[in-house]
């Protein structure tokens, strides 16, 4: 738990510094990531700490869940259900962060992963269009993903 807290604080701090230089526009998002790495003092370090810190955060998270499974913490239903909600929120945050550089692979990832929601009967297609902000992944999607990627860690920290 304490390692998760340290990782979350590191993620929030590095994310704040990255957000100061990032632009959530489809034409300039990738250029702003390049700008962070090349032109901002220690921007490359902040970006790599943020990316690799996320991996470390998930390692600690899975160890924490594994410990809970081993010791039978799933018997405490309220606590366990809140933990599951936190896990889903952290996974959603990580997915939206993967999309933010807006390169070819992140664009593809946003399209494919969000399109999985279209398999939900009756509401799937409408849900996908609502998440995208239109009929395809575009500026509205990137802006929404950046906003949610920015705010969700604070919500996770509050819980």
pLDDT digits (tens, 9 = 90+) for 73-110: 999 999 999 999 999 999 999 999 988 888 878 888 88
Q: Looking at residue 50, what is its pLDDT?
A: 96
Residue 62 maps to a domain: yes
Task: With beta carbons less than 8 A apart as the criterion, state whether 92 and 152 touch.
Answer: yes
CA distances to 73, 144, 151, 153 from 147, rounded to whole Å, are 33, 5, 6, 11
**Rounded to the nearest 5 degrees, what angle is found at the Cα of 35, between the Cα atoms of 34 and 37?**
65
Residue 8 maps to a domain: yes
Number of residues that make up the chain: 159
Residue range 107-123: mean pLDDT, rounded? 88
Q: Looking at residue 21, what is its pLDDT?
A: 94
Residue 131 maps to a domain: no
The residue that leads in pLDDT, 58 or 159, is 58
Q: Which domain holds residue 41?
A: 2-101+139-158
Residue 56 maps to a domain: yes
Domains identified in the chain, total number = 1
Give the global pTM.
0.86
Residue range 114-142: mean pLDDT, rounded? 89
CATH number at residue 143: 1.20.810.10
């Amino acid at each position: 738990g304490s390692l998760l807290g340290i990782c979350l604080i590191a993620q929030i701090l590095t994310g704040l510094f990255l957000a100061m230089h990032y632009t959530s526009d489809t034409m300039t998002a990738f250029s702003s990531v390049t700008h962070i790495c090349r032109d901002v003092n220690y921007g490359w370090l902040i970006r790599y700490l943020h990316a690799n810190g996320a991996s470390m955060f998930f390692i600690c998270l899975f160890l924490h869940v594994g410990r809970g499974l081993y010791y039978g913490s799933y018997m405490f239903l309220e606590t366990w259900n809140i933990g599951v909600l936190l896990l889903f929120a952290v996974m959603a945050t990580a997915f939206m962060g993967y999309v933010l550089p807006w390169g070819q692979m992140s664009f593809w990832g946003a399209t494919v992963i969000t399109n999985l929601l279209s398999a939900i009967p009756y509401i799937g297609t409408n849900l996908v269009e609502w998440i995208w902000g239109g009929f395809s992944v575009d500026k509205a999607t990137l802006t929404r993903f950046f906003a949610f990627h920015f705010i969700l860690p604070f919500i996770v920290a509050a819980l």
